[in-house]
Structure 1
Amino acid sequence: MMSDLRVYDLSPEQQDLWKRVNDLWSLSMERNAEKIRSTLHPRYMGWDMNSPVPHDRETAVQSVLGDSPVVVDYQLRPLSIEVYDHVAGIVHYTYSATVAPKGATSFRVSGKWTEIYLKQGDQWVMIGVSGRPDHV
């Protein structure tokens, strides 16, 4: 178990994958649909475990656009980062973020998340996620 994971102890490949996770959170703050869409595999499938069923790529893109709360800031804590045969990666981490719903007061959310990636060329492309907020 890697509960005391320190990013500087990671291999360059693991650091690159962790950077990708952080980049995707930054993109969610930008709310640029095309940039977000380009980071997700066309057959991406994810599951916010508070939902009854998994969601597809377009649902994931829309989850950070439109009427969705804006991410104001965030902190991520890596728990496990594994790369397999230089082509697949899995990241488990916790998050804490301030979100601002349209016309409402900002609030903090936190949770646990797992992201699955496929390396295509020199880019990590997300193929799946699973997780949930700590409290609903």
Structure 2
Amino acid sequence: MSERPVTGLSPEQQELWQRVNDLWSLSLERNAEKIRSTIHPRYVGWDMNQSTTHDRETAIQSVLGDAPAVTGYELVPLSVQVYDRTVGIVHYMYSASVTPKDAAPLQVTGKWSEVYLRQDSQWVMVSVSGRPDSPTGDLRAVE
């Protein structure tokens, strides 16, 4: 896990960027209830490799159960913005090691845009949009 230091961010922006890192860290734990508590009940996301959007439960299942386990990651922030202390939008690139069930680990890279709403002094994810850089099936094995 790698958290790249970010300079020039306000304390609010730093807090939002930390939330992004925290959510990736939760994906390592694979704890459904902790993950569920960070995602708004009316969340809508879009992996742009898919033809339709997905809901909160689909997002949660994307890092649980039979989904490939995230075993490591690095995040690179591109933009971290906070609007009226209530809405946060983050654009970043990622590199992650994932291990599919009964298969060799793979290295994936991609880009995400995430939208957050501050509720009860916590950033709650309301939307994501993005995709892996490589189409499914064109992943590189980790050596």
* TM-score, structure 1 as length reference: 0.95
Q: Does 1:117 align with 2:94?
A: no
Identify the structure with the greater helix proportion.
Answer: 1
SS of the aligned residue for 1:9 comes to: coil
Structure 1: 4+ residue segments shifted above 6 A: none
Q: 1:72 to 1:6 in 2, by over 3 A?
A: closer
Q: CA deviation at 1:8?
A: 2.6
Aligned pairs (5 A) from 1:5-24: 7-24=6-23
Query: Partner of 2:106 in structure 1?
Result: 107
* TM-score, structure 2 as length reference: 0.90
What percentage of aligned pairs have identical amino acids? 67
Query: Partner of 1:46 in structure 2?
Result: 45
Q: CA deviation at 1:7?
A: 1.2
Count of matched residue positions in the alignment of Structure 1 and Structure 2 = 132
Aligned pairs (5 A) from 1:1-136: 7-136=6-135
Matching residue's letter, 1:86:
R
Matching residue's letter, 1:77:
V
- Mind listing any 5+ residue stretches in structure 1 that lack a counterpart? none
- Mind listing any 5+ residue stretches in structure 2 that lack a counterpart? 136-143
Q: CA deviation at 1:6?
A: 6.0
Whole-angstrom CA distance in 2 between matches of 1:77 and 1:108: 16
Whole-angstrom CA distance in 2 between matches of 1:21 and 1:132: 16
The RMSD of aligned alpha carbons is 1.1
Matching residue's letter, 1:87:
T
SS of the aligned residue for 2:104 comes to: coil
Matching residue's letter, 1:39:
T
